[in-house]
């Protein structure tokens, strides 16, 4: 009986660890894809900031391009 409990106890921990690692992996993949989508928005916002020296207009440019990029991927 102790042998069965020992095996099932480790199995439960392994399943919980596996589920946690899968969720962590999916979050990392999602963040990497999101960063790749947002690269053009960041670059354009940087260019706008260089040209206007205004964080407001750079932020507006970032939000518009980011929204268009995300909508394009849907």
- How far apart CA 44 and CA 42 sit, in angstroms, is 6
**Token code pair at residue 20:** 């946690």
The pTM (predicted TM-score) of the whole model is 0.65
Number of helices followed by number of strands (H, E) in the chain? 2, 0
- How far apart CA 55 and CA 14 sit, in angstroms, is 48
- How far apart CA 41 and CA 71 sit, in angstroms, is 13
- How far apart CA 26 and CA 34 sit, in angstroms, is 12
Q: Give residue-wise pLDDT tens across range 13-63.
A: 778 888 999 999 999 999 998 888 899 999 999 999 999 999 999 999 999
Q: Please tell me the predicted confidence (pLDDT) of residue 3.
A: 61
Q: Please tell me the predicted confidence (pLDDT) of residue 16.
A: 85
pLDDT of 5 > 90? The answer is: no
């Amino acid at each position: 009986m102790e042998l069965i409990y020992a095996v099932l106890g480790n199995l439960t921990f392994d399943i919980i660890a596996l589920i946690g690692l899968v969720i962590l992996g999916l979050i990392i993949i999602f963040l990497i894809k999101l960063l790749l989508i947002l690269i053009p928005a960041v670059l354009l916002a940087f260019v706008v900031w260089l040209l206007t020296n205004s964080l407001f207009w750079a932020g507006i440019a970032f939000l518009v391009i980011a929204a268009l990029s995300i909508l394009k991927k849907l």
